[in-house]
Amino acid sequence: MDLASYADLVIELVNTQDPAEDSLKDLDSLRELLTIRPHLSGRLTRDTLQAMRELRAEMRSIFVAAASGDEATAIDRLNTLLIQHPIHPQMSNHDGQDWHIHLTEGGSVPDRYAAGAAMGLAVKISDHGIERLGVCQADGCSNIYFDETKNSSKRYCSERCAGRSNVAALRARRLDGADTR
């Protein structure tokens, strides 16, 4: 299995936060975030939720720093997370799967989530470069993304945001044209 795929944990967590709506506001929404990660199941309390929200803010700050060109801050914060949430690799073949690596088996849900997410992000940056971390530039969207285009040209989290922004830019240009006439 590809360790960099653990970086999806970062995207899934950080993008629960939208300027218009926070979809990590209670234990039900936390349970929903974790449903596709059975190995991350465990006891969920208000403290778990609070820890996950703090982790979300820390993860976001790494992307915000990287996207603004402040590599030193981004790496510093990621290194802090790697130290705070060390991995303890174990082989597992749960639920009839082939043997595969689990990065950590012990600890609370946020600890395990953080260990997987930080390691995944570290591998992703090692493989593809820190300039691949981005924050959507569309108005009203703050989603983060990994730029996987050949020429590092991604500016928006989704086709939807790209389309919306192109329409807005076109309108702005038309208005400009009208003013100078």
- Report the interface residues with Zn ion, using CB under 5 A: 136, 138, 141, 143, 157, 161
Tell me whether residue 104 or residue 143 sits nearer to Zn ion (CB atom): 143
Tell me whether residue 86 or residue 140 sits nearer to Zn ion (CB atom): 140
Tell me whether residue 49 or residue 157 sits nearer to Zn ion (CB atom): 157
* Residue 65: burial class (beta carbons within 10 Å; 0-12, 13-18, 19+): buried
CB of 18 to Zn ion, least distance (A): 9
Tell me whether residue 89 or residue 140 sits nearer to Zn ion (CB atom): 140
Q: Is the dihedral of CA 144, 149, 151, 153 positive or negative?
A: negative
Length of the chain: 181
Cα separation of 112 and 146, whole Å? 22
CB of 12 to Zn ion, least distance (A): 15
Tell me if 124 sits within 8 A of 117, measured CB to CB.
no
CB of 156 to Zn ion, least distance (A): 5
CB of 137 to Zn ion, least distance (A): 8
Tokens of 36: 């596709």
